[in-house]
Structures are given as structure tokens and as C-alpha cells.
Amino acid sequence: MMLHQHALLDVAVPLAEPQPAMPTTPLNHDDWRSDATLLLVEDDGLVRRFVADILHLLGYHVLEACDGLEAMQIHAEFSGCIDVLLTDIVMPHLSGLELAERLRCERPAMHIIYMSGYSFMSVVQRPLRDGEEAFIAKPFTMRTLLETLRVSGCATMHDGAISG
């Protein structure tokens, strides 16, 4: 016959102080509008579709590419101004960094926003170029995306909201 032994263990965990709710203001789509042209490069189709839908809703003209090579082709065929390159960093065929360097030669005024599930420094191992580049960590909210566009100079602030 086998005897089972049981042990009791008491664990004391301090209670966390309740955190006050962060005040949020609803996004009024009419206040966040822009007519900028943006080249969106993202290899994850669901993420690309989500971001493109948000930007279309807000008036951006969005050119979509699934990787850096397709983005290069779109860039070569598009005769208009591309105001913003919004690109994933880690992609097959041509990274977002390589893409940005190639496009920067022909479109030096284009704003560049990198996005990644990794930290910028862990992937790139250099600081962002002030005034030329921005970074947004995935996953991100619509508000974070639009604030990043504003900070990079792709939208302006009106009445406390972002618009283009």
C-alpha cells in the first residue's frame, strides 16, 4: 500500500493598486484626413490589408506591395509623388532597409516609416536618422499609426486632432 503525502504552500502576493483608466478621445475620421500618397510594403497580407484599409478610410492614396521587389516595381511605374514609405523591416527578397536606401536616392524628400515586431535597434543596430525616419512597433493601434505619420511630417495637427 502506498501513502501519498501532500504539502501545503502559502504564497503571499501583494495586491496591485488599481490603475486609473487612461482618458481617450474617440477618433473622428474627419479630423484625421490626409491626401498624401503612401507606399505600404508588408509581407503579411492581413497586416497589409488592415493598414491599407485604415489609410484609405482617412484619404491616403495607398500603393501596396507584398515585398521590397514589388515595391521597387511599383515605384518605377508610379509617376506621381510618393510622400511616405511605410515598410516592414524583415521581409523576403529585399529588406525594408535595403528598399528605403534604394528609394531614398531617387526620392530624397520621401518620409520613411519602418515597422516591425522587433525593436529597431535589434534588427538594424543603428539609430534612426533624425527627421528622415520613424519607427512603429507591431502590433500597433490606428492612433499610434496616425501619430507616427504626424510626427514624421506626413500629417498636421488641427484642433487637437491629426489631419493632412
| DSSP conformational letter for 128 | -
Averaged pLDDT of the chain: 78
> 46 or 151, which is more confident?
46
CA-based R_g, the chain, Å: 22
Q: Is 136 exposed, middle or buried (0-12, 13-18, 19+ CB in 10 A)?
A: buried
* Domain made up of 30-163: CATH architecture: 3-Layer(aba) Sandwich (3.40)
Are the beta carbons of 157 and 146 closer than 8 angstroms?
no
Residue where the block lists cell 488641427: 158
Q: For residue 24, give Cα distances in angstroms to 4, 21, 77.
A: 55, 9, 41
Amino acid at 78: F
Segment 42-94, tens digit of pLDDT:
999 999 999 999 899 888 999 999 999 999 999 999 999 999 999 999 998 99
Contacts of 111 (CB under 8 A, 6+ apart): 83, 84, 85, 132, 134, 152, 153, 154
For the record, the C-alpha cell of 5 comes out as: 503525502
Are the beta carbons of 36 and 164 closer than 8 angstroms?
yes
